Amino acid sequence: MSVKSSLLKTLELNKGCFISGQELARMLDVSRTSVWKAAKSLQDEGYLIEAVTNKGYMLAEESRILSEEAISGFLDPGIGSVSITIMDNTDSTNNEAKRILMDEPGFGRVIFAEEQSSGKGRLGRSFSSPPGDSLYASFILKPLLDVNDSLLITVGASVAVARAVEKIGAADDESFEPEIKWVNDVYLDNKKICGILTEAVSDLESGQIQSLILGIGINVNTDIKHYPKEIRDRIGIVEISPGQRNRFAAILINEVFHMQDEIMDYRMNGLDEPSFMDEYRQRSMVLGKGIYVIKNDEKYEAKAIDINNHGGLLVKYKTGETELLNTGEVSIRFDS
């Protein structure tokens, strides 16, 4: 790791506290001049580093730039090695993940972007991705599930996001209670704060699914004015202290990889369902409620009765007929 990276990591872990140049030089095993040069270069990149004679260096509490160094300081060692890429701007982190996969096949990668120019949503929609504190991330994961179970990864991802939102709230002395709207929209106070888009990448020759790309976009601290007018009343924003952004990104990574372990456990040990399913049902904002099922632009009034082991939603229509919804081609709404 370069001096700059080590310095950033150390300052991130001690955010808001001064550490003397001498102490930093000792911790990083370099000269004080190297510390000074690295701090200067980080300042030039926009990091809010204060350098004060007789006090040393401090990264300001409100520093919010995503960095691999800062994120890795909050990662749970139990999740194994994760490669983190951070981009200022890209069309879509899911597309970026696909491009990376073409050059370098592999798993355990996550790509963040500060902003997306063509963020992709479900059902071919776009996903508004303004710059600010929001998290736009794509994870390259192993294809652990067969086709019948493919819904489980998106279901699990929504639980991972809900857990991450709850945890970052707790770290900030807030008690957030995220809920999930089938299949995988995460809501806070009845507004959608997150979208999830899963894409499979297959090997053209074998036809086998090679990797899964799990794209997650969470709206954080962004002024509602930055979203298109027509969606403003539906968008929710997670409000956190700006200085907690890297921690939030790390918690999200931790939770996604824990969720992947839960799927692995389910597969390897022949369980009835992954361990997150009960939590998914508990967090569901549709179970037991009256909803509208939207299929091919038609709207049907129904009641959400159950969520099965594979993440399918059992609904009962006004006519008394029941149907198990399994596909991403169906969406549900509460209002008419």
Asked if 32 contacts 21 with a C-beta cutoff of 8 angstroms, the reply is: yes
Asked if 255 contacts 248 with a C-beta cutoff of 8 angstroms, the reply is: no
Q: Is 164 one of the binding residues for ligand BTN (CB under 6 A)?
A: no
If the CB atoms of residues 48 and 294 are measured against ligand BTN, the closer one turns out to be 294
Q: How far is the CB of 249 from ligand BTN (least distance, A)?
A: 12
β-pair partners for 242: none
Cα gap 140→110, rounded to integer Å: 6
Which of 25, 70, 197, 307 lies at the binding interface for ligand BTN (CB under 6 A)? 197
Q: Is 73 one of the binding residues for ligand BTN (CB under 6 A)?
A: no
Rg (CA), the chain: 22
Which of 47, 57, 74, 136 lies at the binding interface for ligand BTN (CB under 6 A)? 136
DSSP 135: E
Binding mask 81-110 for ligand BTN (x = CB under 6 A): -----------xxx----------------
Q: Is 120 one of the binding residues for ligand BTN (CB under 6 A)?
A: yes
Q: How far is the CB of 94 from ligand BTN (least distance, A)?
A: 4
DSSP sequence for 66-97? --HHHHHTT--GGG---EEEEES-BS-HHHHH
Q: How far is the CB of 126 from ligand BTN (least distance, A)?
A: 8
Cα gap 93→136, rounded to integer Å: 7
Total residues at interface with ligand BTN (CB under 6 A): 19
Which of 21, 156, 169, 217 lies at the binding interface for ligand BTN (CB under 6 A)? 217
DSSP 102: H
Q: How far is the CB of 185 from ligand BTN (least distance, A)?
A: 6
If the CB atoms of residues 58 and 218 are measured against ligand BTN, the closer one turns out to be 218
| CA-based nearest residue to 79, from 212, 250, 209, 234 | 250
Q: Which helix (H) or strand (E) holds 293?
A: strand 290-295
Q: How far is the CB of 135 from ligand BTN (least distance, A)?
A: 8
Which of 138, 154, 158, 284 lies at the binding interface for ligand BTN (CB under 6 A)? 138
**Other beta carbons less than 10 A from residue 215's beta carbon:** 27
| Window of 118-126, 234-242, 260-268, 307-315 that interacts with ligand BTN by CB under 6 A | 118-126
Which of 18, 36, 107, 127 lies at the binding interface for ligand BTN (CB under 6 A)? 127
Write the CB contacts of 262 (distance below 8 Å, at least 6 apart in sequence): 156, 274, 275, 276
Q: How far is the CB of 242 from ligand BTN (least distance, A)?
A: 20
Write the CB contacts of 13 (distance below 8 Å, at least 6 apart in sequence): 73
Phi, psi of 172 (to 5 degrees): -110, 15
If the CB atoms of residues 25 and 216 are measured against ligand BTN, the closer one turns out to be 216
Q: How far is the CB of 111 from ligand BTN (least distance, A)?
A: 9
Runs of H (alpha helix) within the chain: 3-13, 21-28, 32-44, 68-72, 93-103, 151-171, 245-268, 277-283
Q: How far is the CB of 205 from ligand BTN (least distance, A)?
A: 27
- The CB-nearest residue to ligand BTN is 195
DSSP 286: S
Q: Is 215 one of the binding residues for ligand BTN (CB under 6 A)?
A: yes
Which of 119, 156, 243, 274 lies at the binding interface for ligand BTN (CB under 6 A)? 119
Omega into 330 within 30° of 0, i.e. cis? Answer: no
* Interface ranges with ligand BTN (CB under 6 A): 92-94, 116, 119-122, 125, 127, 136-138, 195-197, 215-217
